[in-house]
Amino acid sequence: MNSTVYNDSDNEFNERNDDTKSPIKDPIDKKYESVASVRETLIEHPAFALGISAVRRCHRMGRFGLEEPGCLLITGVSGSGKSTLRKEYAKHYPRRETDDGTVIPVLHLELPAQPTIKNVAERILIALGDPLFARGSAETMTARIVTLFRNCRVELVILDEFQHFIDNSSEKIETKVADWLKHLVNVTRVPFVLMGLRRCRRILQGNEQLRRRFSRQISLEPFGIADKRSRRIFDTLLRTIFGSLPVTCVPELTSDGDHIEHIHYATYGLMGYVMTLITASVEIVLEEGRPAIDRDVLGRAFSESIWPEGRGRLNPFHARFINRPLTNAGEPFFGYKS
């Protein structure tokens, strides 16, 4: 994966590129390879770096087997980059086979929808590589988890999609599973990082014991443009991405403040949508042999890849755009306001 390092202190970026020379010769495949490489580029923006260092702190303390390991909750709206952060952190601590058996320093997984103690335990056992993952009662499964954590020398657990512990429509919290999770933290003495949509904070509000263990909380917020500092950060992010593309962009894209606003309207400042918009723009330029990404290309990329109804005045790149966030019912960012 390519990695673009965001260095906000001096507004410059170092680029790391792990790619070796590509074996792909077909020019059409080459184009798609370029599009895929844009999608795969990791941007180490400031909030991402903060998230990584918060997880690292948790992990370091976890190596001491403290009786009450410090746990962490990371929340953020969909597309803010939680799972990307999880996978990127875990990538640096891969599972390995040794003479003493399998070592899994960082165990990470997605929690199931409609969790029960058994199906969560099962997911954990699968991630640990237990071939008999579905066997036994909840108690015996829990005991196997504890043993395997010790044998596989698990130092950190990251559980994604924690909002599944709260039912979206009935707001019912899976109290029994939450209590079991607290028990697991206690008996394994391994720090847990939970990740999920913002509503999962309510699970902790309703469970004081879990809340105390997860008193450290951070959120991955969308990029803002309301004040000078956030605007500068978003501007730097866009310059970094535009500067690393395999196609050129018209100069206005990196110099004109208006474009920052329109791209923000088109993406709500969310990494997921920023990457979708830009990848789709690169695809249009390569497919149609256009000279560069311009406002027209961005407008088409928006309606083709983010919101099909986003045409005319509902398209942030249209000259007569309505100039407001697209957060009304039926619009792409409905429900994203905190």
Shortest spacing between CB 41 and ligand ATP, in angstroms = 6
With respect to ligand ATP, which residue has the nearer C-beta, 80 or 188? 80
Q: Which residue has the tokens 């395997």?
A: 148
Q: What, of ligand ATP, Mg ion, none, does residue 59 touch, CB below 5 to 8 Å by kind?
A: none
Structure tokens at 37: 């490489």
Residue closer to Mg ion, measured from CB, 219 or 230: 219
Binding site for ligand ATP (CB under 6 A): 39, 41-43, 45, 48, 76, 78-84, 197, 271-272, 275
Q: How far is the CB of 82 from ligand ATP (least distance, A)?
A: 4
CA atoms of 325 and 323, how far apart (whole Å): 7
Could you count the other beta carbons within 10 Å of the beta carbon of residue 326? 24
What is the enclosing helix (H) or strand (E) of 237? helix 228-243
Q: Helix, strand, or coil here: 167?
A: coil
The nearest distance, CB 282 to ligand ATP, in angstroms, is 13
Residue nearest to Mg ion (CB): 83
The tokens for 164 are 């599944």
- The residue (of 87 and 153) whose beta carbon lies closer to Mg ion is 87
Distances from the Cα of 114 to the Cαs of 89, 134, 165, in angstroms?
27, 17, 7
Segment 52 to 111, residues that bind Mg ion, using CB under 5 A? 82-83
Shortest distance (Å) from residue 135 CB to Mg ion: 29
> What distance in Å separates the CA atoms of residue 4 and residue 12, rounded to the nearest whole number?
11
Q: Which is nearer to ligand ATP, 2 or 248 (CB)?
A: 2
- Which of residues 83 and 151 has its CB atom nearest to ligand ATP in the complex? 83
Task: State the minimum distance, in angstroms, from the CB of residue 159 to Mg ion.
Answer: 12
**Least separation in angstroms between CB 97 and ligand ATP:** 29
CB-based closest residue to ligand ATP: 81
Q: Which is nearer to ligand ATP, 149 or 192 (CB)?
A: 192
Say which residue the tokens 């988890």 belong to. Answer: 145
HSE-CB for 108 with a 13 A CA cutoff:
24
**Cα–Cα distance measured from residue 110 to residue 204, given in angstroms and rounded to the nearest whole number:** 18
Q: Is the Cβ of residue 76 or residue 105 nearer to ligand ATP in the bound state?
A: 76
Neighbouring C-beta atoms of residue 108, cutoff 10 Å: 20
Q: Specify which residues 75 forms β-bridges with.
A: 196, 219
In the complex, minimum distance from the CB of residue 212 to ligand ATP, in angstroms, rounded to a whole number: 25
What is the SS3 assignment for 86-149? HHHHHHCCCCEEECCEEECCEEEEECCCCCCHHHHHHHHHHHHCCCCCCCCCHHHHHHHHHHHH
| Binding region for Mg ion (CB under 5 A) | 82-83
